[in-house]
Chain A
């Protein structure tokens, strides 16, 4: 009898099933990233549903957003 691959961890299943609607391309995310991160620095509760959807589904863009946020916080600190 066969069973699911051990590679299908709960984290990977969550990643496969992430809801990335509404669609935003990586280029569009990049174009909005500076303004989005500045707003997050000014208000940690600031949300942008379109950016959030993309960042939850794109590890590279999410990592870049975290890095930029860290840089701005260092500048502010």
Chain B
């Protein structure tokens, strides 16, 4: 497959042609769109399990739209290309980003985004598993979620890390940015780790269950 593609032009002339308005610009744009479409198709097909009811045509539409969006983004940020990677790699990442966002947005289009204020605990008789080290850790984490986090940190951490709402989907629903939510998660994790470290439970688990 790779051997059938035309070789990419040298980065410097390609970028110059894209930035200019000369006779070579249309071909440079066409080549850019081709590689963006290759990357967006790749990403849409990687994530196709998120869209179980989607047919080939819908997936292709998503890839085409993501490639178009990526083309606009690449041209807008062309001056930021500094040659630290190949131009194709730099451009690919815009298509991967737009295609990934599009698939996740589509997958959650009709779904309610859960924003729990607390973890729902279970009220029942204890089982042998409840006295294990893992259950004790879960209780400690649950307590830290309730006591160490602000309400906003709790809602974001539970939505993204427990309910598994994609961070960009949640950002869109809350009218904020992926950056802002990631910072909230970063601060929440720091608080949770500090709370567990204060009771000696972080040392117990750090060698076993953390990445």
User: What is the interface of chain A, defined by CB distance below 8 A to chain B?
Assistant: 1-8, 10, 12-21, 23, 25-27, 30, 33-35, 37-38, 56-60, 63-64, 67-68, 70-72, 74-75, 77
Take A18-B211, A70-B42 as given contacts and tell me if A59 and B138 are in contact as well, using a CB distance cutoff of 8 Å.
no
A-B contact pairs, 26 of them (CB 8 A): A1-B126, A4-B141, A5-B142, A7-B162, A7-B163, A16-B161, A16-B188, A17-B189, A17-B193, A17-B196, A17-B202, A19-B189, A19-B193, A20-B190, A21-B190, A30-B97, A35-B84, A38-B86, A56-B211, A58-B182, A59-B166, A60-B168, A64-B43, A64-B96, A68-B92, A75-B88
Of the listed stretches B10-18, B21-29, B115-123, chain A binds B115-123
Known: A38-B86, A57-B185, A77-B2. 15 other contacts (CB 8 A): A1-B126, A2-B121, A3-B126, A5-B138, A7-B163, A13-B137, A14-B211, A17-B189, A58-B182, A59-B166, A64-B97, A67-B42, A68-B92, A68-B93, A71-B96
* C-alpha spacing A60/B104, complex, angstroms: 10
* C-alpha spacing A1/B66, complex, angstroms: 51
* C-alpha spacing A4/B121, complex, angstroms: 5
Q: Does B210 contact A (CB under 8 A)?
A: yes
* C-alpha spacing A67/B99, complex, angstroms: 11
Residues of A within 8 A of B166 (CB): 59-60
Instruction: Across the interface, name the chain B residue whose C-beta is closest to A31.
Output: B80
* C-alpha spacing A60/B163, complex, angstroms: 15
Residues of B within 8 A of A19 (CB): 189, 193, 210
> What is the size, in residues, of chain B's interface with A at 8 Å between Cβ atoms?
61
**Most B CB within 10 A of own CB, among A14, A70, A75:** A75
Residues of B within 8 A of A57 (CB): 182, 185-186, 189
* C-alpha spacing A72/B135, complex, angstroms: 42
Say yes or no: B89 contacts A72, CB within 8 Å.
yes
* C-alpha spacing A76/B132, complex, angstroms: 48
- How far, in Å, is A76 (CB) from chain B's closest CB? 8
- How far, in Å, is A8 (CB) from chain B's closest CB? 5
